[in-house]
């Protein structure tokens, strides 16, 4: 049986890793292939990365599979990505389920085809009780959309707009905020991904194109994360004082 989430990981291992999987188009272009071929390889890289996260004891992985802005891409790429999502759902979900992965699809479902929506719902229901890794495949997701939809829910319930009320209605309310944000493909921007939730995430940028990403790149990101000092608005001295062993503990 899968190990419960609470017994995994260590202080030095991020609980939640968020990834912008960038570089699929360039990977394909280098090989004179259509962009969709890069996205297909991207699914392979995602499968490898889920396995590497399970091995590392990471408890939540959130990936940006399709952004609210991606609709503006060429029509054949948009339909290719929708087709790929349907295909990935039929091919990957049972393997993920066997590995103890709980899958969610944060994002605006209103514009997705009934076929894709049904696949997402089935995958989410099938894996709902798994506990080894929560995988958030953000699909038709945008950070601004998320904040607005959360605010609309808070308002509809007649609640005051507070940080806590908004956070409880965001699309990732079922997991703590990301500790580590990775973007591949050499670009250094957030591109409207989890903009609320990444307030205190550590950022890591990899030159690797997403289809080339795998366990060794994840390991480099985790090693960089372990060298960071997370201060959450405090000073270094305050952090050290809070984490230093007491004389009692030193004995
Ligand atoms: C950004 O690379 C990537 C995307 C817009 C799509 C990411 C999707 C996957 C990795 C496949 C998994 C998704 C599904 C649907 C299961 P880019 O195309 O912007 O690359 P470029 O910067 O090289 O052009």
Question: pLDDT per residue over 225-244, tens digit each?
Answer: 999 988 899 998 888 888 77
- pTM for this model (two decimals): 0.92
Q: Is residue 78 part of a domain?
A: yes
Cα 6 to ligand 1 centroid, rounded to whole Å: 32
> Which DSSP symbol is given to 21?
-
Q: Tokens 């894996």 identify what position?
A: 127
Q: What is the pLDDT of residue 188?
A: 97
Q: Please answer whether residues 249 and 41 qualify as being in contact, where contact means their C-beta atoms are separated by less than 8 angstroms.
A: no
Q: Does some domain include residue 238? A: no
70 carries an active-site annotation: yes
Give the domain CATH number at 150: 3.40.1180.10
Question: Ligand 1 centre from 86 Cα, in Å?
Answer: 15
Q: Is 86 contained in some domain?
A: yes
Q: Residue 23 Cα, ligand 1 centroid: separation in angstroms? A: 7
Closest CA to 67 of 183, 167, 168, 205: 183
Ordered DSSP codes for 69-128: GGGGS-HHHHHHHHHHHHHHHHHHHHHHHHTTEEEE--S-GGGS-HHHHHHHHHHHHHHT
Task: For residue 1, tell me if it sits in a domain.
Answer: no
Query: Considering the domain boundaries, does residue 5 fall inside one?
Result: no
The count of structural domains within the chain is: 1
Residue 81, ligand 1, Cβ within 6 A = yes
- Residue 204's nearest CA partner among 177, 232, 230, 224 is 224
Query: In ligand 1, which atom is closest to the CA atom of 77?
Result: 18
Does residue 160 form part of some domain? yes
Task: Check pocket membership of 46 for ligand 1, CB cut-off 6 A.
Answer: yes
Closest CA to 91 of 47, 26, 58: 47
Which H or E run includes 205? strand 202-205
Tell me what pLDDT residue 11 has.
58
Among 22, 146, 177, 179, the active-site one is: 22
Q: How far is Cα 127 from Cα 149, in angstroms, rounded to an integer?
A: 25
Distance 39 CA to ligand 1 centre (A): 5
- pLDDT beneath 70: ranges in the chain: 1-11, 246-251
User: Measuring CA to CA, which residue among 191, 207, 209 is closest to residue 28?
Assistant: 209
Task: Say yes or no: CB of residue 138 within 6 Å of ligand 1.
Answer: no
Helix (H, G, I), strand (E, B) or coil at 138: strand
Residue 200 lies in a domain: yes
pLDDT, tens only, 23-45: 999 999 999 999 999 999 999 99
| Spatial distance between the Cα atoms of 148 and 67, rounded to a whole number of angstroms | 15
Residue nearest to atom 1 of ligand 1 (CA): 22
> Does 235 fall in a domain?
no
43 lines ligand 1 (CB under 6 A): yes
Q: How far apart are CA 55 and CA 9, in angstroms?
A: 10
Residue 12, classified by CB atoms within 10 Å of its CB into exposed (0-12), middle (13-18) or buried (19+), is exposed
Distance CA 132, CA 8 (A): 8
Q: What is the pLDDT of residue 138?
A: 98
Query: What is the token pair recorded at 204?
Result: 């890591």
- Taking the CA of residue 187 as reference, the ligand 1 atom at the shortest distance is 22
Ligand 1 site, residue 22, Cβ cutoff 6 A: yes
What is the pLDDT at residue 251?
Answer: 56
Q: 220: domain range?
A: 15-226
């Amino acid at each position: 049986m899968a190990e419960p989430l609470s017994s995994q990981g260590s202080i030095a291992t991020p609980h939640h890793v968020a990834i912008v999987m960038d570089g699929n188009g360039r990977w394909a272009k280098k090989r004179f292939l259509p962009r969709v071929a890069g996205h297909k390889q991207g699914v392979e890289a995602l499968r490898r990365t889920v396995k590497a996260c399970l091995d590392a004891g990471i408890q939540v992985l959130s990936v940006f599979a399709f952004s609210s802005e991606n609709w503006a891409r060429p029509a054949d790429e948009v339909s290719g990505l929708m087709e790929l999502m349907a295909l990935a759902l039929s091919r990957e979900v049972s393997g993920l389920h066997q590995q103890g992965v709980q899958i969610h699809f944060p994002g605006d479902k209103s514009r997705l085809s009934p076929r894709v929506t049904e696949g997402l719902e089935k995958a989410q229901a099938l894996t709902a009780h798994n506990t080894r890794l929560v995988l958030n495949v953000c699909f038709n997701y945008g950070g601004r959309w998320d904040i607005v939809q959360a605010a609309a829910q808070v308002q509809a319930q007649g609640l005051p707009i507070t940080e806590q009320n908004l956070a409880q209605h965001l699309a990732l309310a079922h997991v703590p905020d990301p500790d580590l944000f990775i973007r591949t493909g050499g670009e250094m921007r957030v591109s409207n991904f989890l903009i609320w939730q990444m307030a205190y995430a550590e950022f890591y940028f990899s030159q690797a194109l997403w289809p080339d990403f795998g366990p060794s790149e994840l390991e480099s990101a985790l090693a960089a994360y372990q060298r960071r000092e997370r201060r959450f608005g405090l000073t270094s001295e305050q952090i050290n004082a809070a984490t230093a062993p007491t004389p009692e503990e030193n004995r």
